[in-house]
Amino acid sequence: MLNRRTLLATAPLAALPFAAQAQEWPSQPIRMIVPFAAGGPTDIPARLIAEEMSKRLPQRVVVENRTGAGALVGTESVAKAPKDGHTILYSTVAHAVMPSLFPRLAFDPIEDFQQVALVAVVPMILIVNKDLPVNSLQELIALLKSKPGEVDYGSSGQGGAVHLASELFLAMAGAKATHVPYRGSSALMPDLLAGRIAFSVDVAASALPYVRDGRVKGLAISSKRRSSLAPDLPTFDEAGVPGYEAYTWHMVHVPAGTPQAIVARLNRVVNESAAVPEVQRRLRDLTAEVIADSTPESARAFLIAERDKWAKVIKDAGITVN
């Protein structure tokens, strides 16, 4: 039988495997899985962060695009990866809505991952065709209420961030409109410019260039505060829909069960990378609001809140995907 002295003597030895594993990490290149196409609005920020992380670690962080099934393919590959910190996921709001849109998932987007850090949030802008006879959010709401379900709005895809943000706006405004899904923001914009659809709550990076050159009218931005990139745009709160917020966002995860010492070091490296002035400038040019001080705990709380928020929108609007 072990006495107290023996237990005390052997206790540090029991911790050695964990400590050694954390100390030796990373022992090989780190794969950053981006479950979206190369060159897109998720891939570009991921590569900025990966490049800076590589400067702070003894091994490179290599971005690998694993697309398919609305981000499910790449995400599932990380959920099933070894729990050693050598495979990480760079996710968006799609991660939070998976449980509601795909109820038979082979993994749990919350419990099968350890959240590392929230990197940035990207607000949305409500834009309307320039010839639509409205010049404020309240005028648009009045138009929609006068013609319930007769006005068309566009999104970048069924169940995507633009669709959900638009449905949240309609629910909070007490209005109705007809959804027209497209394959991406670049596909919906020609129809918005031509007046074949009336409005969209699009990602700021896609909408802002059109607002700036007057090809569409911007009525509100979905962040808590006005953006320095569009200081004349009121928030939804200011424009008459109090409490409205909607973002797409960027978050880093590892498989659940990854040693906490590795998670802590990853968190520090991600935050340091996001805090680099040139990275902040380039992300700001992409209309992203950089966080740079996220913790694993705050990232998890944010993710759960997003899951619950969008689950209600999806249920109330009856949104399904094929």
Instruction: Kindly state the percentage of the chain with pLDDT values over 70.
Output: 93
Give pTM, 2 decimals: 0.89
Q: How far out from the chain centre does Cα 292 lie?
A: 15
Distance CA 57, CA 275 (A): 16
Q: Would the pLDDT of 211 be above 70?
A: yes
**Token digits of residue 229:** 């990139």
Q: What is the pLDDT of residue 12?
A: 47
C-alpha of 217 from chain center: 25
Q: Contact, 57 vs 215, CB < 8 A?
A: no
pLDDT (mean) for 129-151: 98
pLDDT of residue 296: 98
Element of type H or E holding 179: strand 178-181
Mean pLDDT for the stretch of residues 226-239: 94
| Residue range 27-43, pLDDT digits in tens | 999 999 999 999 888 99
- Residue range 233-240: mean pLDDT, rounded: 96
- Predicted pLDDT at 7: 38
The 10 Å CB-count burial string (b at 16+, else e) for 69-105 is ebbbebbbbbbebeebbbbbbbbbbbbbbbbbbeeee
Residue 9 predicted with pLDDT over 50: no
**Strand pairing class (178-181; 113-129):** unpaired
**Is residue 49 over pLDDT 90?**
yes
Rounded Cα distance, 283 and 46, in Å: 10
Q: What is the pLDDT of residue 89?
A: 98
Q: What is the pLDDT of residue 149?
A: 96
Calculate helix-pair angle for 260-274, 277-285, nearest 10 degrees. Answer: 70
User: How many Å apart are CA 95 and CA 241, to the nearest integer?
Assistant: 26
Whether the bond into 12 is cis, omega within 30 of 0: no
The per-residue pLDDT for range 58-98, each reduced to its tens digit, is 999 999 999 988 789 999 999 999 999 999 999 999 999 99
Q: 111-127, pLDDT tens digit by residue? A: 999 999 999 999 999 99
| CA gap 226, 237 in Å, rounded | 10
Residue 229 has pLDDT above 90, yes or no: no
Residues 165, 306: Cα–Cα separation, whole Å = 12
